Structure 1
Amino acid sequence: MPPKFEQVTSFVDVPITDDGVDTPAFLDAADGLMDLFDLFGSVVFGFVQTDLRTNITGVRARYASHTAASTTLERLVEAEHADRARNATACLVRLVRGLAFTCRALQELQADDKAELHVCFRRAYDVVLKHHHSFVIRSVVTIAIRAVPRRADFFMSLAEGGDQEKLRAEMSKWLAALDAIAVRVSAFLANGGYGRV
């Protein structure tokens, strides 16, 4: 059974220092987001979950093999670059894109009380991911987005019948933190020439 929103590690709890975004806390929060995707239905967003989980695994593998040099995402990328490797960096680029897409969709949902979930995901896709995908992938995504649950059902699943106003307040904090991390890491990757996000 998917977790309630409040049971998922929050991006609010991911430490950010002068050295960057804490790698293990970030990966825990990203894992929590993947668990929330179960609320969309495993078939509907299965391909998104698979892609994001693969990218989380790639970043986590680099962290596990070079822990001391990878305490933050930024240090992880710099250390990998110094080793003339690229796998974890490429995974991080794709992971940040996927997180930015999800964040944007849920921000749209929060901002527009009348919009259905599929509309919010479509808007987010058009802005964040569409230009990275081929025609075939765009077609698959369009079909998947149309199959997401209704807005009311999604919020009911997240809150499990609890206080939806509290849920919305917590989600706003969670999304603000995720957005700040995505913007920060994207800028770092782009400015350092490590990969386009």
Structure 2
Amino acid sequence: MPPYFESIKSFEDVPITDKGVDTVTFLEAAEGLVKIFVLLGSTAFATVVSDLKGNIAKVRARYDAAPSKSGTLEELVINEPADDKKRTATQGLLWLTRGLSFTCKALQNAQKNKNEELSVAFTKGYEGSLKQFHTFVVKGVFSLAMKACPYRAAFYEKLAADPNGGPPSSQDKVSQDMDKWLAALHNIVTRLEGFYEAGGHAKGF
């Protein structure tokens, strides 16, 4: 198995057309992102992992139920109300986008500030994304999770490591791969946030 960014579906590989963001490859890339929290190695992130997986499952269930209406994420959201008045997948995608935004901002901070520990980068990412949507209790859970982040050096070593014992990637390559992955993720998150805002699709959630 190759190092992390070579072992997952990259957001760079998610097709975006005039109809929107391809649903299937987006979900594959999102599943790869969840593994970031496994590498962080703390049970404090169990809530984050559970939320991400749960929302991915909601979107995938809708796609499986109505693939012809859900080829892109935008089509999925627009077409869902006719079959599901609760808009289960629309809500799931909304919260998934928020979770992706948190992860993106946290890792962008880590990339920009090489001397900061992950706990600082993830705290800044949380404050600029999910925090505004959370209750006092949930904010407390996330605050504990941020403090449980591993040391920066240990995390980046895990990103570079070959699980099969082969030679690790260089840190320069890890950084380059992460920057490309984050740029593509940021583009998709920004697009979805704009889509939800313009169409009023977040109302009621």
Q: Which TM-score applies when normalising by structure 1?
A: 0.96
CA distance in 2, matches of 1:85, 1:117: 37
**Conserved? CA contact 1:97–1:129, under 8 Å:** yes
Residue 167 to residue 40, structure 1, CA distance change in 2 (3 Å): same
User: 1:3 Cα shift?
Assistant: 6.2
**Conserved? CA contact 1:21–1:74, under 8 Å:** yes
Residue 98 to residue 2, structure 1, CA distance change in 2 (3 Å): farther
Tell whether 2:22 aligns with 1:6.
Answer: no
Q: In structure 1, what residue type is equivalent to 2:102?
A: F
**Conserved? CA contact 2:80–2:90, under 8 Å:** yes
**Conserved? CA contact 1:15–1:22, under 8 Å:** yes
Counterpart of 1:114 in structure 2 is 115
Out of 164, 171, 174, the position equivalent to 2:171 is 164
CA distance in 2, matches of 1:150, 1:2: 22
Q: In structure 1, what residue type is equivalent to 2:159?
A: L
CA distance in 2, matches of 1:5, 1:42: 20
User: 1:2 Cα shift?
Assistant: 10
Residue 67 to residue 180, structure 1, CA distance change in 2 (3 Å): same
State percent identity of aligned pairs: 48
Tell whether 2:39 aligns with 1:32.
Answer: no
Q: How does 1:97-136 map to 2 (within 5 A)?
A: 97-136=98-137
Q: Which TM-score applies when normalising by structure 2?
A: 0.92
Out of 175, 188, 194, the position equivalent to 2:182 is 175
**Conserved? CA contact 2:3–2:169, under 8 Å:** no
**Conserved? CA contact 1:63–1:70, under 8 Å:** yes
Gaps of 5+ in 1: none
Out of 193, 196, 199, the position equivalent to 1:189 is 196
Q: How does 1:21-60 map to 2 (within 5 A)?
A: 21-60=21-60
CA distance in 2, matches of 1:30, 1:42: 19
User: 1:85 Cα shift?
Assistant: 4.2
User: 1:82 Cα shift?
Assistant: 3.4
Gaps of 5+ in 2: 162-167
SS in 2 for 1:44: helix
SS in 1 for 2:128: helix
CA distance in 1, matches of 2:44, 2:3: 18
Question: Once superposed, what is the RMSD of the aligned Cα atoms?
Answer: 1.6
